[in-house]
């Protein structure tokens, strides 16, 4: 007997009761504990159809929204065909969080700003009229963009998925790109994504891999383990000999949305992947930096983190 709850019923429950949908619970539990998200919660845990990876016609992959980060990091198909996603999932948080945290939860989590996370402080994200971080302590804030909220977007997996032009499936709606979950950031000063509370992200669709593609993710952090990145970057490249024939590069921790970096890509495609080319391509990100008083240091980190990801992606794998 199939006892899996219908997604329509789960969506209707949120419409009727209010509150939030809950997946692995790693973020909602933290917000509930602080009094920030009182619920009620409608659990997706029983929706087993949202788990796992399924091959798509043409060589792509459909990844259910309840698939855990640990599964993405270790699944042989993901590691072989979509290494940027596997690397991003494996770099996030701790083993315990990766075992419970889900793809959908990572894409739709809330930001880590300590003013937002403090239930006693008002801010745009909680329906208030200002951003206390802008005038207060914002040294972990954005370095790109000038919107009302200065909290960087926290999703590592969204950053990686941007490099695949991945599509997001939402129950009852037409597919959209993962980038469309966030828009350009102008509307994200009261939220961290554009889905309505009762909408259910069901899966992400990845295109077929490119022949011989390489990928790397790099996080710049302030301590060795269990730390949110100051800046992170993903590079997905294809080379013909030493010449870059395809480049998709994205960054996180620097703006209200995960950023695709077309200026870096344009500086790579058609050129040999020499140290000078990689350095010049990484340096193009400086043109989009608009530091706050306490985030000027992030401009250099942004450039250097992108460069590290490019260098890793263009380094031939070690021989067995």
Q: Measured between alpha carbons, how far is 165 from 248 in angstroms, rounded to an integer? A: 9
pLDDT score for 279: 98
Which of 159, 184, 206 is the endpoint of a domain?
Answer: 206
The answer to whether the beta carbons of residues 111 and 192 sit under 8 Å apart is yes
Query: Does 144 share its domain with 55?
Result: yes
Compute the distance between CA of residue 246 and CA of residue 237 in angstroms, rounded to an integer: 5
61 shares its domain with 154: yes
Q: Higher model confidence: residue 244 or residue 36?
A: 244
Domain shared by 148 and 101, yes or no: yes
Cα–Cα dist 177/173, whole Å: 12
Last residue of a domain, one of 206, 238, 253: 206
Number of domains in the chain: 2
Six-digit token pair at 28? Answer: 């909602």
How far is the C-alpha of 193 from the C-alpha of 201, rounded, in Å? 12
Q: 9 in a domain, yes or no?
A: no
The DSSP 8-state label assigned to residue 170 in this structure reads: E
226 confidence band (pLDDT: 50, 70, 90): low
- Number of neighbouring beta carbons within 10 Å of residue 41: 18
The pLDDT score that the predictor gives to residue 175 is 92
C-alpha distances (whole Å) from 234 to each of 28, 196, 199, 231, 311 are 27, 28, 28, 11, 11
Whether 305 is in a domain gets the answer yes
Same domain, 165 and 309: no
Tell me the H-state helices in the chain.
Answer: 7-17, 26-33, 69-74, 76-81, 83-91, 95-100, 103-107, 114-117, 132-135, 156-162, 262-266, 275-283, 297-314
Instruction: Establish how many alpha carbons lie within 13 A of residue 93's alpha carbon, considering only the half-sphere containing its beta carbon.
Output: 22
Phi, psi of 304 (to 5 degrees): -70, -35
In this structure, the answer to whether residues 144 and 229 fall within a common structural domain is no
Which phi and psi angles does 144 have, rounded to 5°? -130, 135
CATH number at residue 297: 3.30.390.50
Average pLDDT over residues 287-301: 97
User: Does 70 reside within a domain?
Assistant: yes
pLDDT digits (tens, 9 = 90+) for 175-190: 999 999 999 888 899 9
Give the confidence band of 1 by pLDDT, cuts at 50, 70, 90: very low
Chain segment 59-80, per-residue pLDDT in tens: 999 999 999 999 999 999 999 9
Regarding whether 151 and 286 lie in a shared domain, the answer is: no
Q: Residue 102's closest CA among 52, 60, 151?
A: 52
Query: Are 49 and 196 members of one domain?
Result: yes
Judged against a pLDDT cut of 90, whether residue 93 lies above it is answered with no
Domain stops at, among 206, 228, 261: 206
Model confidence, pTM: 0.94
What's the rounded mean pLDDT across residues 279-288? Answer: 98
Residues 188 and 303 in one domain: no
**Domain housing 258:** 214-314
């Amino acid at each position: 007997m199939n006892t899996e709850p219908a997604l329509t019923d789960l969506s209707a429950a949120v419409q009727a009761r209010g509150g939030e949908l809950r997946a692995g619970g790693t973020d909602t539990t933290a917000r509930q504990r602080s009094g920030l998200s009182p619920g009620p919660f409608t659990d997706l845990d029983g929706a087993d159809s949202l788990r796992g990876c399924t091959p798509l016609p043409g060589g792509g992959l459909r990844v259910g929204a309840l698939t855990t980060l640990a599964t993405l990091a270790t699944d042989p198909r993901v590691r072989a065909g979509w290494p940027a996603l596997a690397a991003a999932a494996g770099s996030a948080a701790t083993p315990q969080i990766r075992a419970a945290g889900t793809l959908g939860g990572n894409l739709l989590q809330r930001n880590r700003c300590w003013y937002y996370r403090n239930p006693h402080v008002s801010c745009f994200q909680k329906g208030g009229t200002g951003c206390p971080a802008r005038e207060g302590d914002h040294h972990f804030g954005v370095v790109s963009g000038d919107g009302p909220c200065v909290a960087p977007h926290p999703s590592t997996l969204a950053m990686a998925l941007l490099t695949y032009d991945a599509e997001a499936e939402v129950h009852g709606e037409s597919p959209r790109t993962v980038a469309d979950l966030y828009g350009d950031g102008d509307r994200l000063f009261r939220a961290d994504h554009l889905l309505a509370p009762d909408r259910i992200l069901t899966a992400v669709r990845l295109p077929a891999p490119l022949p011989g593609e390489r990928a790397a993710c790099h996080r710049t952090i302030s301590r060795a383990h269990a730390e949110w990145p100051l800046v992170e970057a993903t590079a997905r490249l294809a080379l013909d000999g030493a010449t870059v024939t395809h480049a998709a590069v994205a960054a996180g921790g620097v703006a209200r949305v995960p950023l695709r970096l077309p200026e870096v890509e344009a500086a790579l495609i058609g050129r040999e992947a020499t140290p000078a080319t990689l350095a010049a391509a990484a340096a193009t990100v400086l043109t989009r930096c608009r530091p706050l008083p306490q985030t000027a240091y992030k401009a250099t980190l942004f450039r250097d983190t992108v460069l590290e990801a490019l260098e890793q992606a263009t380094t031939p794998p070690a021989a067995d």
